[in-house]
């Protein structure tokens, strides 16, 4: 069984959590004995995201369900760069029933309208990187200048992950687990390629 990587520490020492089990069958007891999953509880939690996995290394519960956050996302802004080359900011947002990508770098800015399918497709890829469970700050104190990045998401309703309408994370020369970080960068590249295909950016 493939292990889910922890979005906080990057460990694969995780186990699946199942909910709502009222009785144990012989097969279930065997799987429990083999360490394939653990039982979270008899009732499924309400009004909070339901954990799907647990990390034994950092003791974090991992939440895979982000459908409500996807539905209520009104903008997502990702900025990355350094002192000398400047920062590139990619913003994916909606205004009423229209959807846009905007890319800014120094004093240049390009904005295009995109389809609803592209909008939710890009956001879905970003959320699959477990960004809502990343630490608030990543920082390497031993590197000067280098690369800085920042991710900010605005919701139309409070997120179940932090009970706020804004989620932010960022870093300086330090990053989330590489698998998830690369998933975010790949999604941003898709947004940039869509923008480039329709503009001279």
What average pLDDT does the segment 111-132 reach?
A: 93
The answer to whether residue 137 scores a pLDDT higher than 60 is: yes
Every domain of the chain with CATH number 3.30.1560 lies at 67-198
The DSSP output letter for 42 is: S
pLDDT-derived band at 19 (thresholds 50, 70, 90) equals low
For the stretch 57-67, pLDDT in tens is 988 787 666 87
At residue 10, the pLDDT reads 85
Beta bridge partners of 79: 89, 150
Identify the residue with better confidence: 128 or 152: 152
At residue 41, the pLDDT reads 61
pLDDT-derived band at 201 (thresholds 50, 70, 90) equals very low
For the stretch 174-197, pLDDT in tens is 999 999 999 999 999 999 999 888
- Assigned CATH class of 67-198: alpha beta
Which residue blocks in 62-177 are alpha helix, DSSP H?
67-72, 116-127
pLDDT-derived band at 200 (thresholds 50, 70, 90) equals very low
The token duo for 175 is 């990053």
- What stretches of the chain adopt beta strand conformation (E)? 14-19, 37-41, 53-55, 61-62, 73-82, 86-95, 98-105, 108-114, 137-139, 148-155, 166-172
Whole-prediction pTM value? 0.78
The mean pLDDT of the chain is 84
Is residue 129 within 8 Å of 181, Cβ to Cβ?
yes
């Amino acid at each position: 069984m493939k292990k889910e990587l922890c979005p906080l520490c990057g460990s694969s020492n995780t186990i699946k959590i199942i909910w709502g089990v009222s009785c144990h069958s012989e097969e279930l007891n065997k799987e429990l004995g083999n360490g394939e999953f653990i039982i979270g509880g008899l009732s499924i939690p309400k009004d909070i995201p339901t954990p799907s996995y647990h990390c034994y290394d950092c003791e974090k519960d991992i939440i895979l369900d982000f459908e409500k956050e996807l539905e209520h996302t009104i903008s997502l802004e990702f900025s990355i760069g350094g002192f000398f080359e400047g920062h590139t900011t990619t913003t994916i947002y909606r205004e009423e029933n229209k959807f846009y990508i905007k890319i800014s770098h120094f004093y240049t800015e390009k904005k295009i309208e995109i389809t609803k399918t592209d909008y939710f497709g890009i956001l879905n890829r970003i959320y699959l990187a477990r960004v809502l469970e990343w630490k608030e700050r990543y920082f390497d104190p031993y590197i000067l200048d280098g690369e800085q990045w920042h991710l900010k998401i605005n919701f139309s309703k409070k997120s179940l992950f932090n009970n706020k309408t804004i989620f932010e994370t960022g870093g300086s020369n330090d990053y989330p687990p590489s698998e998830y970080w690369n998933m975010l960068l790949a999604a941003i590249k898709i947004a940039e390629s869509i923008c480039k295909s329709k503009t001279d950016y």
